[in-house]
A and B are shown apart, each in its own frame.
Chain A
Amino acid sequence: MIVDCHTHWGTMWTERYGEDPATWLATLDRYGLTHALVFGLDNMVRLDLCQADNNRLARLADKGAGRLIPFGTAWPQMGNAGVEEARRCVEDLGMRGLKFHPWLQGFSTADPTFGAICGLAGELKVPVTLHDGTPCYSLPEQMAGLARRFPKTQFVLSHSGLLWNWRSALEAARRPNIWLCLCGPHMRASEELCARADPGRLLWGSDFGFSFADPIGYRLAAFQESRIDDRLKEQILGVNPLRLLEAR
């Protein structure tokens, strides 16, 4: 089992393929990926498309033979309706987690409504994944702040600090409810993160689906060729993702 813990069903995919995930899944097949956590894109760039895209992700997952594990989103700017949309994603649509992109969606991690959503995620036992590595709303230390405020919620740093903030991501991962997704750091940083962070809270992802570009080949090969113990690689690709999701 290999789980890509960072993918998108991007706008381009809807425009070309409607709601047929066959081509998207065929790309995963090419690299032997069995499952993917799939996030939207429309739902993170346009508030008015949020519900519709969440619904689309759920329908895509139904067509994906269990291989697509959908994560929905909500907008704190919607106030209580945003909190209820997060609840709907989990309780009605059966989503296994929530994904937020504070930079794209334009909210601070200090937003009180976002805090309510993070608390709800803890109650519902679903992880919250966050874009990270980008100021001024998506820094690893801001995510660590959330982890301090909501110790019952599991937070995933979707990029482990990207290229330049990986040391901050490593600091953030001192919190026991912070997970790091190796989707962005260069090879040497990934090796350092694997050597120094809790091996049980490391994931791997490609960011596939944001556009038609195919980042899986490069990122999976970079991970496979890195100086990381083979058993840890297997754990990161197949065991840890299940542990992330098993609470619910």
Chain B
Amino acid sequence: MIIDGYCVLGVDREYDLTAQALLPAMDAAGVDRAVIAPVDRWLAVDNRRGNDYVLQAAAAHPGRFIPACSANPWYGEAGVDEFRRALSEGARLLVLHPMVQGYLANDELVWPLLEAAREARVPVYIHTGPPGSSSPWQITDLAERYPAVDFIMGHSGSTDFWNDVNDATLAAENIYLESSLARPFAFVPRLDVVGAHRGIMGSFAPNSDFGFEWRQIRQAVPADLFSQVCGGNLRRLLEKRGAL
């Protein structure tokens, strides 16, 4: 099963990806399923609206999308309630975006959501990169504190935390690297260091073009690792909660 590990579904500001556009792009690229997450605005505020949007898109196209939900940790208990509601309706990942949502990645503010993710056995995708609210070593802090939670380091710290990524990843077994924005020419060699079992292909469409990114990654990932990096690793994490 070939899976795109991160797409953003919705129309807002620079985002303009709809299910109607994504599905044929997936077919053309030979991608079976795609993780879909809400746009930035709905990560920051009005989480329920964003979660419902991706949940409804997934429900409307069975077997194609994997809904990723979010709750801004600043909502506290209400945020945890919203996360659990989205899980009950089919969400399979938790998305955190410290820069957009307004905290440092390793702030204790996120602990209740991570505890809920641990209970639900769902992976946590965290956007990383400059300016500094979400760095690789902050993800390591979280991974150490929650060893039973799988953390996906979105964008692999791209770009200017690139120095830190390998050591920070190797410091905890439950950290996985997502490829989007990290560019294939830099991402693929990193797998030699951290292990191919940690690599997860994501396009981050529509910020990056879906078809373009899949053409590039197909050229860059060795054939014997392709199914693992481009679906198998993420599937293994997702199915801890149950079959897809």
Chain A residues proximal to chain B, CB less than 8 Å: 103, 133-135, 139, 162-165, 184, 186-189, 192, 213-215, 217-219, 221-222, 225-226
Contacts and interface: CB of A to CB of B under 8 A. Distances in A.
Nearest to A166: B14
Given A133-B160, A215-B185, A218-B183, A164 B129 contact: yes
B189 interface: yes
B159 A184 contact: yes
B185 A164 contact: no
Contact of B212 (A103, A184, A187, A189): A187
Given A133-B130, A135-B131, A215-B185, A221 B160 contact: no
Contacts of B155: 163
A186 B185 contact: no
Contact of A188 (B14, B131, B132, B183): B14
Interface string B172-183: 000000000101
26 contacts: A103-B160, A134-B131, A134-B160, A135-B131, A135-B132, A162-B130, A162-B159, A163-B129, A163-B155, A163-B158, A165-B130, A184-B159, A187-B212, A188-B14, A188-B206, A192-B14, A213-B189, A215-B183, A215-B185, A218-B184, A218-B216, A222-B208, A222-B212, A225-B209, A225-B212, A226-B209
Contacts of A188: 14, 206-208
B212 A165 contact: no
A162 to B, nearest CB: 6
Contacts of A134: 130-131, 160
A243 B131 CA distance: 32
Given A163-B155, A214-B185, A218-B216, A186 B99 contact: no
Interface in B166-216: 181, 183-186, 189, 204, 206-209, 212, 216
A22 B184 CA distance: 25
Interface centre among A184, A213, A217, A218, by most chain B C-beta atoms within 10 angstroms, is A218
A226 B186 CA distance: 21
B160 A218 contact: no
Given A164-B130, A217-B185, A225-B212, 19 more contacts: A103-B160, A133-B159, A135-B130, A135-B132, A162-B160, A164-B99, A164-B131, A186-B208, A187-B212, A188-B207, A188-B208, A189-B14, A192-B14, A213-B185, A213-B189, A218-B185, A222-B208, A222-B212, A225-B209
A166 to B, nearest CB: 10
A28 to B, nearest CB: 16
Contacts of A226: 209
B209 A187 contact: yes
B30 to A, nearest CB: 18
A186 B181 contact: yes
Nearest to A168: B131
Interface centre among A134, A164, A189, A226, by most chain B C-beta atoms within 10 angstroms, is A164
Interface residues of B, number: 23
Nearest to A224: B212
Contacts of B129: 163-164
A75 B14 CA distance: 39
B137 to A, nearest CB: 15
Contacts of A222: 208-209, 212
Contacts of A103: 160
A163 B159 contact: yes
Contacts of B212: 187, 221-222, 225
A113 to B, nearest CB: 25
A200 to B, nearest CB: 23
Contacts of A139: 131
A231 to B, nearest CB: 21
3 nearest A-B pairs in the assembled complex, by CB-CB distance: A134-B160, A188-B207, A186-B207
Nearest to A184: B159
A189 B216 CA distance: 19
Interface in B125-180: 129-132, 155, 158-160
A199 B183 CA distance: 26
A247 B129 CA distance: 37
A213 B186 contact: yes
A217 B186 CA distance: 13
B82 to A, nearest CB: 26
A93 B110 CA distance: 55
A221 B216 CA distance: 10
B131 A165 contact: yes
